[in-house]
Amino acid sequence: MCRWIAYRGESVPLESYVTKPVHSLVSQSVHALESTAAFNGDGFGLGWYGDQPEPGLYKELRPAWSDENLQHLCRHLRSHMFFAHVRAATGTSVSRPNCHPFAYGKWMFMHNGLVGNWDLLRRDIERMIPDELYGSRGGTTDSEALFLAAMGQGLTGAERREDPVTAVGRMAELVTELVHGKGEGAPFRFTAALADGRDLYAFRYSANDSSNSLYYRTLGNTVVVASEPLDQDRGSWIGVPDNTALVARWGEPLEIQPFLQPSETIEKIPAAR
């Protein structure tokens, strides 16, 4: 089980979230509190938006805790929107192409969770990736396949522009059918973040299992979403409910939307504080 954080707001040095806080992402790589994996030492990655339309990426297969490059980059890079991810592999190899975040054009994605019975379902999920995106599949993880499959639900191409929550939802619906069907009830846990340089989306969902933890904190225009609170002021962190999407569009207030909810549960969605 991995750990990640996503940031949108004033431009800040990445170290403010990735390396410096008491329970920073790098300290979570050594000792996570709300994870079945005690530590996350199977590679890591950073992604950030700057002057270019597409994000910059830094991925490494070493653990985050001993990488001097990561310390340097987090101290010297500033960004208004960035992702950071530490990995605990669930079966696929520890290699850079399997590290998060993944990017395609302006889009960036990272994931904590899994598609159970991956060897059985891999082909079917890869089949959901459109031909024109398949060449950019660089690794073998379920996470990257889920991302490219979601891209294929209308997030790329000139002719149409889908709402990302709808597109990701359609992908998750198809995968849910797969795990219920051919997967014979394999778990599908999907706690993920998606961004395009302006807007940030996060998802907390699962099928046949309980969802992985997810929290957020807002202050003015700043939104931080993380697998676990980054500091001991836990009161300032709000849990993202199961089966919801967090939507933080640039310059707009944060919203929590239903995400693949059974129709009878929609009324349970709490409003964001």
Q: Residues with catalytic annotation? A: 2
Tokens of 221: 């225009």
**What residues numbered 111-130 form the site for its own copies, per CB under 8 A?**
119, 122-123
CB of 40 to its own copies, least distance (A): 10
The piece of 61-69, 164-172, 208-216, 261-269 that touches its own copies (CB under 8 A) is 61-69
CA gap 245, 211 in Å, rounded:
13
Residue 5 near residue 226 (C-beta atoms within 8 A):
yes
Can residue 13 be called a binding residue for its own copies (CB under 8 A)? yes
User: Which element (helix H / strand E) includes 159?
Assistant: none
Can residue 137 be called a binding residue for its own copies (CB under 8 A)? yes
**Which residues, at least 6 apart from 136, have a Cβ–Cβ distance to it below 8 Å?**
104, 148
x/- mask, its own copies, residues 66-85, rule CB under 8 A, reads x-xx--xx-xxxx-------
CA gap 31, 52 in Å, rounded:
34
Q: Where are the alpha helices (DSSP H) in the chain?
A: 15-18, 25-30, 68-76, 118-127, 131-134, 142-151, 164-180
CB of 145 to its own copies, least distance (A): 13
The piece of 20-28, 33-41, 178-186, 200-208 that touches its own copies (CB under 8 A) is 33-41
Question: Between residues 70 and 238, which has the closer beta carbon with respect to its own copies?
Answer: 70
Can residue 94 be called a binding residue for its own copies (CB under 8 A)? yes
CA gap 112, 97 in Å, rounded:
16
CA gap 62, 102 in Å, rounded:
17
CB of 100 to its own copies, least distance (A): 14
**Where on the chain is the footprint of its own copies (CB under 8 A)?**
13, 31, 38-39, 41-42, 48, 50-52, 56-63, 65-66, 68-69, 72-73, 75-78, 89, 92-97, 119, 122-123, 131, 134-135, 137-140
